[in-house]
Structure 1
Amino acid sequence: MSIQTKPRSIGKRHRLAKPELLAPAGNLEKLKFAVHYGADAVYIGGQKYGLRSNADNFSFAEMKEGVEFAKQYGAKVFVATNIYAHNEDIAGLEQYLRALEEAGIAAIIAADPIIIETAQRVAPKLEVHLSTQQSTLNWQAVKFWKEEGLPRVVLARETSIEDIAQIKANVDIEIEAFIHGAMCSSFSGRCVLSNHFTDRDSNRGGCSQSCRWKYDIFEEDMPMFSSEEDKFTMGSKDLCMLEYIPDLIDVGVDSFKIEGRMKSLHYVATVVNAYRQAIDSYMADPEHYELKQEWLDDIHKAANRPLNTGFFYDTPGAEDHIYEPEEKQAPYDFAGVVLSYDAESGLAVVQQRNHFKPGHEVEFFGPHGTFFKQIVNEIADEAGNPLDAARHPLQHIVIKTEQPVKPMDMMRKRVRP
């Protein structure tokens, strides 16, 4: 599986001091791992006003804990308040925004003008970043929002590299762009299939991802596919711009945003780690930068769908959508998290996240150089009792590792060639 190859079409432009790597965090644990694995900032959802109502989302106490953890790494926390509000949503908005400010949140991501205006009025320490839900594509619209006092615009996913170049040439403002994750089959954020099919409003946080369902076509009440044939979907392939980090930096993107507040802990850590290495490598020596295959390999170990480059270089066509049942992309399953390691004995305590047993090939990885494969030999519980398998969720498993590991390193299990 490979990502579409696009030619480098962007000339050298003013370089940023360093672009921000912005990661999703569906809960407090994911926030901590995203930051630990290299995110400069994370975006989360609170209990109200966000577009991922099915995520775990954060209480104010969890926000405060997340902010304090992020500060230890010099990272920031943003909160999505990106719904389009109905009349009944407005009650309590001022109190909610003030509470975000008091929790130490650095910025909100908003689309509705009333949320933007209210935040500027009652919580002035909160930056307001314009959400991608506004579908901003051109420099004059970006200029409008700058004049409204916003320091950053999150561009629509449909924006091209050349569009970004024109925006940066005409408006002195921070630009945030999605560079990895799920794409929308509709114009981003404007789909109403979920509303019609399930009465779940995609613009109020309830999208049922109707584009990923299986469909049939009917002619005079007769299905065109036989019962033995696979039904079709109309979902888009996922976005991946790891191969084109130099283009994104050269054109002036200020914040590289990864989609996925509903994605797994393993997905968040793996993707953040790969982009962190690529960005740091390019910024350290742009003239001699080389994309490493191991970064791409890591992305594929967590990928849920085939990958492409979205709208950055051209308009996606039929080849950029998934009309047939998807093959499982990732050859690895998330198996565990390292809790502790004893250098003298070589024994690690691993918190189990998926079934594994002696004889399985596993891979350890982490943000500070940990990377190796080994076959699982004997395993035991923390009392030293031998186990034939790690089958209980979150059980603490003692395993001998062939190389040193660190707390918060991850273990994944190979499930297919």
Structure 2
Amino acid sequence: MIRKGDISVKKPEIVAPAGDFEKLRTAIEFGADAVYAGGEGFNLRMGASNLTLQEIGEAADWVHQRGRKIYIALNIFARNYHISGIRSYLKRLAAIPVDAVIISDPGVFLTMREIAPHVPIHLSTQANTTNAQSVEFWRRQGVKRVVLARELTLGEIREITDRSQIETEVFVHGAMCMSYSGRCLLSGFMANRHANLGDCSHSCRWHYVLKEEKRPLESYPIVEDESGTFILSSKDLCTIQYIPELFHAGVTAWKIEGRMKSPYYVAAVTRVYREALDRYCADPHTYVCDQRWLSELEKVSHREYGVGFFFGNQGYQSQTTHPGDRYLKEYDYLGTIQNVLPDDMAEVVVKNRISSNTPIEIMGRRLSEDFTQVLLDIRNEYHESIEVAQAGQKVLIKMSRPVEKYFMLRKCG
């Protein structure tokens, strides 16, 4: 809690993505206060692994044992034929002690209130809540938290939170959508994959050219400069440089996008925002943005970074200038330490090819735990020395410094 004049501002909750159980564990281990995950259906990330009802139960127990929270996304815009399935699903979900269900559709909301009135409801960003009156409307319906539309400025967010009597949440990092908080028909039109039912094909990221009606075999790239222009492909959101401004916006929770990203992405991004927020709350008067945080966020796969709408409509500056759907990727994720063994040996689950005599970086839960070393001793499950380990293998690697379970290996790409 930090006092701002006569007002106390509570430390916001960091909510990280959990596309599957591995990412859920990773998010918690690397500093998330809460995770959000999708069940097997009815959420807007059908491409993610998602969790079965049994896994949601196990995840809820695991998270609660560590004093953290779990929210389940049920945020599709449902058609009539979905409702019976949703009713059946909610009857089973209601028996699991999740901390909230994230909903965008009023019909799903009513079904939830009927079947599981004891489960708190968070209103999804897909509901496009852009003003305090809308927040008040949803409060009166029984919503506990509103995830505000991503098109709001920080000034608007501050005004809404000051006037609201329920919790609010905003996205602070991750992919942005060229449509209004994800309400897009382009994917359904181009690929028959419907964004509002969780199956977006990201058609906005595709390459597009101009063709003249009478010259169908001739195509012309739509360019603005040497790199071209891609007016449908938004930059990724990154707000690490604006921690004080975000804090004093007064929202309850900061959300990181990325249920379809890798465990490495979840770990790297979560720990940076965890460290930045903790440092600011510890001493706001001496706080400065650590340049290492920016460097760390460059080490995960991402599009060009921008500030979204927090400082107003950025126009051309909100769109990527890199050709097509290319991600910027400085580092490769090599694997995660599963167990720590005697004699400084670590059991590693390999995610990408690892070669001996290669300089790598070990990534801890905190930036201060990171170190580099050359891989001089890699062994297979039979303790035989090997030169190369492939994705999917479990190997033993000699560590030059103490490590812990869940630490990760990476190398500059």
**Which TM-score applies when normalising by structure 2?**
0.93
Q: Does 1:223 align with 2:254?
A: no
SS in 1 for 2:180: coil
Match of residue 178 from structure 1? 171
* CA–CA separation in structure 1 for the residues paired with 2:109 and 2:327: 41
Contact 1:362 1:413 in 2 (8 A): yes
Match of residue 330 from structure 1? 329
Match of residue 259 from structure 1? 257
* CA–CA separation in structure 2 for the residues paired with 1:132 and 1:350: 37
SS in 2 for 1:91: helix
SS in 2 for 1:85: coil
* CA–CA separation in structure 2 for the residues paired with 1:382 and 1:14: 58
Question: RMSD between aligned alpha carbons?
Answer: 1.9
Q: Does 1:400 align with 2:393?
A: no
Alpha-carbon deviation of 1:191? 1.2
* CA–CA separation in structure 1 for the residues paired with 2:404 and 2:68: 21
Match of residue 361 from structure 2? 363
**Residue identity matched to 2:41:** K
**Residue identity matched to 2:399:** T
Of 194, 209, 212, which residue of structure 2 is paired with 1:201?
Answer: 194
Contact 2:227 2:321 in 1 (8 A): no
Q: Cα–Cα, structure 1 residues 249 and 304, in superposed 2: closer, same or farther, change >3 Å? A: same
Contact 1:237 1:307 in 2 (8 A): yes
Percent of aligned pairs with the same residue? 39
What number of residue pairs does the alignment pair up? 401
Match of residue 241 from structure 1? 239
Q: Does 1:82 align with 2:46?
A: no
Q: Does 1:64 align with 2:62?
A: no
Alpha-carbon deviation of 1:367? 1.4
* CA–CA separation in structure 2 for the residues paired with 1:64 and 1:406: 27
Contact 1:13 1:251 in 2 (8 A): no
* CA–CA separation in structure 2 for the residues paired with 1:88 and 1:209: 25
Moved over 4 A (4+): 229-232
* CA–CA separation in structure 1 for the residues paired with 2:384 and 2:8: 57
Of 287, 298, 305, which residue of structure 2 is paired with 1:300?
Answer: 298
Q: Does 1:111 align with 2:104?
A: yes
Contact 1:111 1:134 in 2 (8 A): yes
Q: Does 1:99 align with 2:92?
A: yes
Q: Which runs of 5+ in 2 are unaligned?
A: none
Q: Does 1:18 align with 2:11?
A: yes
Match of residue 161 from structure 1? 154
* Pairing of 1:373-412 with structure 2 (within 5 A): 373-391=372-390, 393-412=391-410
Q: Cα–Cα, structure 1 residues 44 and 328, in superposed 2: closer, same or farther, change >3 Å? A: closer
**Which TM-score applies when normalising by structure 1?**
0.92
Residue-by-residue CA offset, 1:329-362 (whole Å, 9 max, x unaligned): 221110011122235x222221111112122221
**Residue identity matched to 2:311:** Y
SS in 2 for 1:172: coil
* CA–CA separation in structure 2 for the residues paired with 1:114 and 1:204: 14
SS in 2 for 1:377: coil
Q: Cα–Cα, structure 1 residues 57 and 17, in superposed 2: closer, same or farther, change >3 Å? A: same
